[in-house]
Amino acid sequence: MAAAVETSCSEFLNWEVESSVCNESKQKKQLSASQRRCYNFYRRKSFAAFVASVQNVCQVKGSTSWCCCGQTFSEHSAIHKHVAKSHNSEVQQLTEAAYEHLLKQLEQEAEPAKECKAEVADISVWIPDIGQVSEENLRKGPGKVLLYYHYCQVDDPHVICAWQKALCEKLHLTGKIRVAAEGINGTVGGTNVATDIYISAMLSHPVFKMEKEDFKTSDGGAECFTDLKVGVFKEIVPMGVDPDAVSYKLAGTHLDPVEFHKEVEALLANRDSSDDTILLDCRNFYESKIGQFTRCLAPNIRKFSYFPDYIDQNLELFRNKKVLMYCTGGIRCERGSAYLCSKDVCKEVYQLKGGIHKYLESFPEGFYRGKLFVFDERYTISSNNDVIADCRYCGLPWDQYELCSTQFCCQLVLSCPSCRKKGCTACCPSCQRKGETQDKEASDVEHPKEECECTDTRARIPQDISSEGSLLVERTSLTLLPGSSTTISGCRFCRG
């Protein structure tokens, strides 16, 4: 057994690590937040791979143990502590090798982007003349945040990427824009003058046949984003399914806010119809937790790329049902409804055109209650005063997200002012303990622990079908089903 373990461990140690990568760990504190998250992700993966390499599964008894350094461990916690204490250097080597491999891949993918930057002459015709607009009007004054997307054929995404970057920089806009062969998806912030010019430029571009109503607006500005990120991707919304395999052209029927409101009204008026109709929230659990439509089904998923698996594992729930789908701005419903339609199990599939954003413009006191989560520094916007979430420490009504106070943790936490004053600012018990000791142990602990409790205890894909195949839809952000083997309520401590 010892020889087998030694051989298994050596497989990881045989990875070649260049000296330049080893120096990376010394410079880790100089990495940006996104780079640190990426580096820490590879460290967690490397740690898990090392632990798996010493795992021993008994086929007869069905038990699992780990053998390392002449010792046998029967508990996860025990082997984790051993690896963290005795094999940190090996895990570090794995991490650095994987991180170096990623950097090389990114460099290769960035080469086409560098080439498109050279084509400034080709994109200059699409840059509006703003000579009559003062720099002060572009930088200072009342502002707003734009949210938009448009599906269409883009023959050269890199040229569009270069144009968008040049346009936003000229207008002093910040935000995030994804360009792909299937279209464009963006959210940008700036002054009212700058964002109006941006909309005009988008409407006049020959590739995008957009209308002004395609843009959703909210109060804000350039300060709502830390910087400007423009890139070329395979999908303009990351569902993780090849657009060639499931195209947006297969999407469900669009309903404008008035039509969607009438459908929800009819659903709520006739409770018997709930057996035939599902009001489906396509967003992540932390979004629906603070705001949602009354009596919706809100899957307990952490990101949209889990949505296809959620559909696959819950097909019987949707069989012969009428489905009303909604999301923040409409884009996730485009691909999500297309994927659901491709399964050919639903009676009808509809989606809210323009998403919750457009619905709230028409019905600020309608059937959507609570806050609307947005992916910028604001975290939420609102049109009504309902608070449907609670502080995960004391349980009092609270729906204002903050980042976990523990270094390198990017989880969101609902902690009311009273609890925050008491120092309750972390997303889970392990992060709270780590936060209390990280200053004392900063010199000894270079990396955060392998997994945050909030994500470690959460089922990746929930099963929303009971043993009888029935569905219970409640006015809660996370739906718990009778007879289900999966706890849908998430982490007991953080209610997330």
353 plus 382 within the same structural domain: yes
Distance between CA 311 and CA 327 in Å, rounded? Answer: 16
| pLDDT level of residue 458 (50, 70, 90 thresholds) | low
Last residue of one domain, picked from the residues 108, 126, 150: 108
CA contacts within 13 A on the Cβ side of 395: 2
Active centre residues (catalytic): 327
Q: Which residues contact 48 (CB under 8 A, 6 or more apart)?
A: 450
- Categorize the per-residue pLDDT at 14 as very low, low, confident or very high, splitting at 50, 70 and 90: very low
Cα 68 to Cα 3, 60, 74, 77, distances in angstroms: 10, 22, 11, 14
Q: Are residues 312 and 334 in the same domain?
A: yes
- Could you tell me if residue 52 is inside a domain? yes
Looking at the structure, tell me whether residues 356 and 409 fall in a common domain.
no
Q: Is residue 334 part of a domain?
A: yes
Could you say which of 211, 232, 253 is where a domain stops?
Answer: 232
490, part of any domain = no
Contacts with 162 (C-beta within 8 Å, 6 or more apart), sequence order: 113, 116, 117, 119, 120, 123
Q: Is the pLDDT of residue 150 over 50?
A: yes
Judgement on whether residues 333 and 373 belong to the same structural domain of the protein: yes
**Residues 153 and 203 grouped into a single domain:** yes
Among 201, 232, 263, residue at a domain's last position: 232
pTM listed for this prediction: 0.68
Average pLDDT over residues 288-296: 93
Mean pLDDT on 115-144? 79
* 423 falls within a domain: yes
3-class DSSP assignment, residue 261: helix
Asked if residue 128 is part of any domain, the answer here is no
Q: Are residues 204 and 74 located together in one domain of the fold?
A: no
Q: Is residue 280 part of a domain?
A: yes
The answer on 253 and 358 residing in a single domain is yes
Average pLDDT, the chain: 80
Give the count of domains, the chain: 4
Q: Which is more confidently placed, 112 or 201?
A: 201
The whole-number average pLDDT for the span 459-483 is 42
Q: Give the model's pLDDT for residue 124.
A: 85
Taking only the tens place, the pLDDT of each residue in 241-263 is: 999 999 999 999 999 999 999 99
Which range of 2-16, 48-62, 91-105, 307-321 scores highest in mean pLDDT? It is 307-321
402 and 382 in a single domain? The answer is no
Task: Answer whether residue 421 shows pLDDT above 90.
Answer: yes
The CATH number of whichever domain residue 220 belongs to comes to 3.30.70.100
Q: Give the contacts of 199 (CB within 8 A, at least 6 positions apart).
A: 146, 212, 215
Chain centroid to Cα 395, Å, comes to 25
| Residues 102 and 222 both lie in one domain | no
Among 438, 444, 440, residue whose Cα is nearest residue 426: 438
Measured distance CA(331)–CA(328) in Å, rounded: 8
Please name the helix (run of DSSP H) or strand (run of DSSP E) that holds residue 406, with its range, or none: none
CB contact at 8 A, 427 and 451: no
pLDDT score recorded for residue 428: 81
Q: Which domain holds residue 196?
A: 137-232
364 assigned to some structural domain: yes
In this structure, what token pair is assigned to residue 326? 């909604």
- The pLDDT of residue 461 is 62
| Residue 308, φ and ψ in degrees, nearest 5 | -60, -40
- pLDDT above 70 as % of the chain: 75
Q: Is residue 189 part of a domain?
A: yes
Antiparallel, parallel or unpaired: β 253-255 and 348-352: parallel
Q: What is the tens place of the pLDDT at every residue in 152-172?
A: 999 999 999 999 999 999 999
- Amino acid identity, residue 463? Q
Give residue 265's pLDDT.
Answer: 94
Q: Are residues 270 and 224 in the same domain?
A: no
Report whether pLDDT(366) > 90.
yes
CA distance 450 to 455: 11
In this structure, what CATH number is given to the domain that contains residue 263? Answer: 3.40.250.10
Q: d(Cα 157, Cα 149) in Å, to the nearest integer? A: 14
256 & 345 share domain = yes
Do 365 and 343 fall into the same domain?
yes
